[in-house]
């Protein structure tokens, strides 16, 4: 198998592995992946910041206007809500990471084999590039400095 065939085969196997990984994911896992992806965008951070600021300003303004505020400073309910949301986000991230780790573990043998093949091809090219005949052992080719 030449280099092009080896690379094409590895790419095809990786594509099939990714497709199978997506197909095998449960509905809950797919939802967790989508939510984690959405929360990981800068817009989600901006929305959270705006909501917290609006909560604080709204409660302050309601207190000043004499209307019943949801809570007063230092906003203990807001702290509880933020803490619970942080816990849920951490769990979502862990779930998504675990799912991606299973893919990485399945993918590792393919990428390791591909890298080993590349190193072998590099060694052959080095031997040929320095005038070594095909089939000549590595011992006959002087080592590169730092190798």
Contact 114, 5 (CB under 8 A): no
Residue 94 is predicted with a pLDDT of 94
pLDDT tens, the chain, 147 aa long: 566 677 777 778 788 877 887 888 899 999 999 999 999 999 999 999 999 999 999 999 999 998 888 898 889 999 999 999 999 999 999 999 988 888 888 877 777 666 666 666 667 777 766 544 555 544 444 454 554
Q: What is the pLDDT of residue 117?
A: 64
pLDDT of 116 reads 62
How many whole angstroms separate alpha carbon 19 and alpha carbon 110? Answer: 15
> What's the pLDDT at 106?
80
What pLDDT was estimated at residue 132?
Answer: 47
Pairwise CA distance, residues 124 & 126, whole Å: 5
| 131, 133, 137, 138 alpha-carbon torsion, rounded to 10° | 20
What per-residue string of b and e applies to 106-139 under the rule 16 or more CB within 10 Å gives b?
Answer: eeeeeeeebeeeeeeeeeeeebeeeebeeeeeee
């Amino acid at each position: 198998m030449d280099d092009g065939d080896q690379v094409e085969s590895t790419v095809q196997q990786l594509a099939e592995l990714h497709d199978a990984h997506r197909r095998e994911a449960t509905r809950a896992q797919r939802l967790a992946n989508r939510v984690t992806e959405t929360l990981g965008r800068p817009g989600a951070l901006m929305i959270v910041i705006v909501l917290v600021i609006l909560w604080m300003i709204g409660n302050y303004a309601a207190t000043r206007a004499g209307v019943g505020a949801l809570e007063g400073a230092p906003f203990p309910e807001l702290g509880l809500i933020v803490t619970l949301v942080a816990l849920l986000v951490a769990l979502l991230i862990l779930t998504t990471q675990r799912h991606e780790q299973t893919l990485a573990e399945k993918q590792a043998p393919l990428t390791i084999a591909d890298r080993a093949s590349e190193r072998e091809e590099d060694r052959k090219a080095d031997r040929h590039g320095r005038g070594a005949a095909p089939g000549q052992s590595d011992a006959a080719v002087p080592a590169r400095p730092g190798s």
